[in-house]
Structure 1
């Protein structure tokens, strides 16, 4: 197939500048070469809104020492570290990364969760204020669509850990006014709202009475309920209580990670679909590959032993050269195809309307799979899906239409209340 003609034709088609009959718009992506398919996927990524349910840039800025009193991290240019910046987002076609307002569980005990949330929200807004030609805050799907037309990257926000609500139900409405559009009910520990998947204490056996108030208030004000991180009991309590669909902003399928409750099992995915929700697949190695942690431990143990035997530290140039070579030859990372496997599995259980992207970029360290190391690489995943027979319409649903459907349903229920 002629690449130039493919690029020109697909670009016009995706941009909507040519009218075609249903027969004419059918493209057999599976018959393309890998290079042609990647070109088609890249064109598709650049002409389709891509929403990512979870990017941890705000906390990356905090860890990097950036504060409200100092300049924010310059992500308008290519950065040396991390997974997100404007140039790489443009390369990958990312248009609306949900900025994670991440509140570590320790703030539940030491206090200050709401204060931290406020500072991270202001830091995120500073990005849009500093580079208004590149970034814009987004509080609705309509905002994202408008910014997409303007060539700007939207910055919707979700609060990761309901601890920021503290013990005051009025803070749900407060955070809506601050721009928060989903709240992940728990994080690594049980909190005042309910139990966490990571906490074996099972303090409450699911949602608390206060947690039930929080879910209802989120429904009322128009904040999406995010069930990533919650225990199974908390999930089922939420599903029984909520009046509108919910999201899992950055979770994957437990089928591939047996015993990892942080992911969702088949029954949960099926129920989420029946209730019109969406699971946004996490790209992190331990989320998509049940053997990843074991393989990583083996490599880590070898390196520690080699350093001791050679009386070297990691900072020594000889050690760095050896570690680079050894890790390259003993690659522990899964491949982008495994992320597609998770999407396939969700589609098989619930359907194409109930899955999306929730990378956890800037939040899962260096565990990201080959082919999905940063925000420039969404076309690699799209190409893999096209190879498996997904259509352009399917890709659009995964990229943004599914989460927009949930978001609009939550908006509509709020405005009608």
Structure 2
């Protein structure tokens, strides 16, 4: 491995560039418009709403920019990032009732987003960034000192309206190099029930406003998971309700009884208090039984829960909070083998942990973890993430 690639961070979950590319880069509209780039009023409104949401709930101030850019990642010595494909206005589709099953039109928009992300990266950052579609390509990019960008998908609602559509679309995503899919997300859309995950709403208020059936994976969710295991796409349990989590791991045990394929929780935290988003001790232990990894999220709301009453104010306070979660994972599993970083930066997690507002802070985070854990910090910052990718993505290609 090239010397400059040694010791870099692998972020299991960050929103680049997806729907958060600034208008100055002439891409926010293009990420949503039709294949021929027709700028219909609906497309313009979707773009404007998406950007408004980013400025309100992602950026430090309305005048600021995204936290996840290539220059910021290079400054933070990020060597690889799992880049989230997600179309928020399809999940929050105002043209249908809450809880409606997926629309077949969602998948073409997701695929178009993937294609336009690749086009943008190639045009703007071709020398510095490589789209990695297999573990081998990821390692090659790191050896060359280039940033490896790996596609992942957040939300099973993107995948299709019937089991047949879902199976075919998962196969297409595998061909395009998608490393993992999270079947649950923010709202119930007929695929997998989810936990409350809106920092500005107490859990009980969320469930009052957005009720869900008393179940876990649906036939669509099961079809997706079966296809993912078959085609070498990792299962991300983030956002899953307890029932969905149980269903997912039980089905994985049925499909892969030798537990060769790990499961991941790409951007979560340990449950020190009562927030249902955070993983319980039992869930972390079950994840470890599959030799998986949990990426610790950088959202202040989830990380401080049960540990401190006030927001983090300094980088050192944030580092201490993260270490409490890393320590808890070690206490449950017996080692640091299952702890990783999954920032979720630019994923509507404002406020972030203090001093960890953008990707440039990743270098400081790594150094702080090295002071605390010595050589184990390299496993936390990159080794564990790379291990699960090699084991389960593209059948370990």
Tell me if both proteins adopt one fold, taking TM over 0.5 as the criterion: yes
Q: Residue 127 of structure 2 aligns with which residue?
A: 133
> 2:364 is matched with which residue?
380
2:28 counterpart of 1:65: yes
CA distance 1:241–1:126, change in 2 (3 Å)? same
Distance of 2:13 and 2:319 partners within structure 1: 18
Paired with 1:247 and 1:15, the residues of 2 have a C-alpha distance of 28
SS in 1 for 2:352: coil
SS in 2 for 1:253: coil
Q: Any conservation in 1 of the 2:294–2:338 contact (CA below 8 Å)?
A: yes
CA distance in structure 2 between the aligned counterparts of 1:99 and 1:403, rounded to whole angstroms: 14
Deviation, 1:391, is 2.5
SS at match of 1:249: strand
Give the CA deviation at 1:151.
2.0
- Alignment of 1:114 with 2:96, yes or no, is no
Check if 1:248 corresponds to 2:265: yes
Give the match for residue 45 of structure 2: none
1:197 deviation in Å? Answer: 1.0
Cα pair 1:185 1:194 within 8 Å, conserved: yes
1:339 aligns with 2:322: yes
The correspondence of residues 187-198 of structure 1 with structure 2, limited to 5 A, is 187-198=185-196
Which segment is superposed worse, 258-267 or 192-201? 192-201
CA contact (8 A) 2:13 2:343 kept: yes
1:95 corresponds in structure 2 to 79
Is structure 2 residue 386 aligned with structure 1 residue 404? yes
**Paired position in structure 2 for 1:211:** 221
Relative CO higher for 1 or 2, CA cutoff 8 Å, sep ≥ 6? 2
- Structure 1 pair 143–15 and aligned structure 2 pair: CA distance change class (3 A): closer
Q: Matched residue pairs, number? A: 330
CA contact (8 A) 2:80 2:148 kept: yes
1:289 aligns with 2:304: yes
**Counterpart of 1:352 in 2: which secondary structure?**
coil
1:239-278, aligned counterparts within 5 Å? Answer: 239-242=249-252, 243=256, 244-255=261-272, 258-278=273-293
1:128 Cα deviation after fit: 2.7
The counterpart of 2:348, out of the listed 364, 380, 385, is 364
Change (3 A) 1:264 1:399: same
Q: Which segment drifts farther, 331-340 or 135-144?
A: 331-340
Q: Cα gap change, 1:274/1:241 in structure 2, threshold over 3 Å: closer, same or farther?
A: same
Deviations 1:301-320 (A, max 9, x none): xxxxxxxxxxxxxxxxxxxx
Is it true that 1:355 corresponds to 2:355 in the alignment? no
> SS of the counterpart of 1:368?
coil
Aligned equivalent of 1:179, options 173, 177, 180: 177
Q: What is the Cα deviation at residue 271 of structure 1? A: 1.0
Change (3 A) 1:181 1:412: closer
1:38 counterpart residue number: none
The answer to whether the 8 A contact 2:238-2:265 is kept is yes
> Is the alpha carbon distance of 1:374 and 1:197 closer, same or farther for their aligned partners in structure 2, counting shifts above 3 Å?
same
Higher radius of gyration, 1 or 2: 1
Residue 409 of structure 1 deviates from its aligned partner by 2.0
Provide closer, same or farther for how the CA distance between residues 227 and 195 of structure 1 changes in structure 2, counting only shifts above 3 A. same
Higher helix proportion = 1
Q: How far apart are 1:189 and its partner, in Å?
A: 1.6
Q: Matched residues in 1 for 2:279 and 2:300: separation? A: 16
SS in 1 for 2:267: coil
Contact 1:54–1:99 (8 Å) recurs in 2: yes
- Partners of 1:367 and 1:412 in 2: how far apart? 35
Flag structure 1 segments of 5+ consecutive residues without an equivalent: 1-13, 17-42, 74-78, 297-329
TM superposition shift of 1:204: 4.8
CA contact (8 A) 1:276 1:354 kept: yes
Q: How far apart are residue 190 of structure 1 and its match?
A: 2.1
- Compared CA separation, residues 345 and 292, structure 1 to 2 (3 A): closer
- Distance, in Å, in 1 between the alignment partners of 2:297 and 2:192 is 22
**TM-score normalised per structure 1:** 0.72
Partner in structure 2 of residue 51 of structure 1: 10
Q: How far did 1:209 drift?
A: 2.9
